Structure 1
């Protein structure tokens, strides 16, 4: 009997762009400002839970679906304060421990993932519009080929 193996790459598409955003504001305010500058309509969708060993992190996810152009936008938190499995731990035991959704870009506060069936996105214009927001200190395109944790971007 033949054995078939499925690789993660069989399910993921290369038709997406990743943009790192550096800012200190809350994700809800960033979503509001992106809506204003990018002409999007981000709304809170869900919380992504990530578990590593005995630690758990939660990352808020905002979503916008541009049905006309078939583009799906995800605004994701990249940092989360770790919650240990031990309920007895004090607040100070966990102080300063951070889990990252995409550890390869630890300095980024947020990740903007833009899924598009056709590669007609003007990523540079999007980055320029994000950089014009006064509270954003930096935004740039992430080379998705350098991301080892692509499975964290599958929703």
Structure 2
């Protein structure tokens, strides 16, 4: 039985309906693609959460699991000039989640969020649920509204 996470608590508090999916987490590369396969979901609907630093300030992006973020596009999404991946230790401290379990919902410190526009081509998308091996499936419009996220092209 799964316990509530800060991410699921944030969704519950906002009254957003979601479905939980769990799988056996395996670390390493391609975690998101493994998660999509493990829960039997189309990888185009499964989004990974990445923590970035844009001009030295924290930001969060959600992109399809098989894609790579284009740093220039990410920087532009937040009105910055340059972006880079955040150090994993710093990301864990800032979000309150462990790498491999970082969700855009329920982070310890709220940061600006951008969601790749491809998310809005689907009625429901799947994102990390705030714990390794836990995913939440929800309406991308409702998730974006809760996060105050910008909708922008972040990939090629």
Q: TM exceeds 0.5?
A: no
Richer in helix (by share): 2
TM-score normalised to the size of structure 2?
0.32
TM-score normalised to the size of structure 1?
0.32
**Higher Cα Rg: structure 1 or 2?**
1
